[in-house]
A = this chain, B = another copy of it.
Amino acid sequence: MLTIVRRFDLMTHENLDYIERLRTSGYRVTPQRLIVLDAICEIPGHASLSQIIERVAYLDPSIDKSTIYRALDVLCEVGLATETTIEPQGKVYSIAGARHHHLSCRSCGKILTIPDEELGDFQRRMLEKHGFRIQLEHLAFKGLCRQCLRAG
């Protein structure tokens, strides 16, 4: 399997612990799982299920579709990938630990981090449905965090 270029290795060092991540979670590191990871990395933006299946088939046609489904479950399970459902694509996957945004609490000032796709979904939907580009660059999402919510 070493003949295949591991594109994933080109990503930031944050993600290079994939072997560790799998092992410490009790999963084995298999070529199939790494190829699925590669596929997600190679697809720009969100990788839809069908794109991943297509890409994996290209990288290694001998990998069964059921293996892809199982691999995606495992990758999400160990936190190497994240799954989101957006329309009209359906389930999409992306490598965890990329861009992110913040939610700041009015009450205690705590700052929470949310993955990019959670915001992107909303932005994208507004653009698709209403042709309206929401400018989030300087928009702060204010609100109340869990603790302050409980505190009333």
Complex alpha-carbon distance, A10 and B130, angstroms: 30
Encode contact with B along A89-111: 1 for CB under 8 Å, 0 otherwise.
00000000000000101100000
- A135 contacts B106, CB within 8 Å? yes
- A114 contacts B130, CB within 8 Å? yes
A1 located at the interface, meaning its Cβ lies under 8 Å from any Cβ of chain B in the complex: no
- For this chain, the copies found in one complex come to 2
- A133 contacts B129, CB within 8 Å? no
Contacts A114-B126, A118-B126, A126-B118; A131 near B149 (Cβ below 8 A): yes
Encode contact with B along A113-131: 1 for CB under 8 Å, 0 otherwise.
0100010011001100111
- A133 contacts B144, CB within 8 Å? yes
Q: Which A residues are closer than 8 A to B by beta carbons?
A: 84-87, 103, 105-106, 112, 114, 118, 121-122, 125-126, 129-135, 139, 141-146, 149
Given A118-B125, A121-B122, 20 new contacts (CB under 8 A): A84-B87, A103-B132, A112-B132, A114-B129, A114-B130, A118-B126, A122-B122, A126-B143, A130-B146, A131-B145, A131-B146, A131-B149, A132-B144, A132-B145, A132-B146, A133-B144, A133-B149, A134-B141, A134-B143, A135-B143
Chosen A-B contacts, 20 in total, with CB atoms closer than 8 Å, are A84-B87, A85-B86, A85-B87, A103-B130, A103-B132, A105-B132, A112-B132, A114-B129, A114-B130, A118-B125, A122-B122, A131-B145, A131-B149, A132-B143, A132-B144, A132-B146, A133-B143, A133-B144, A134-B142, A135-B143
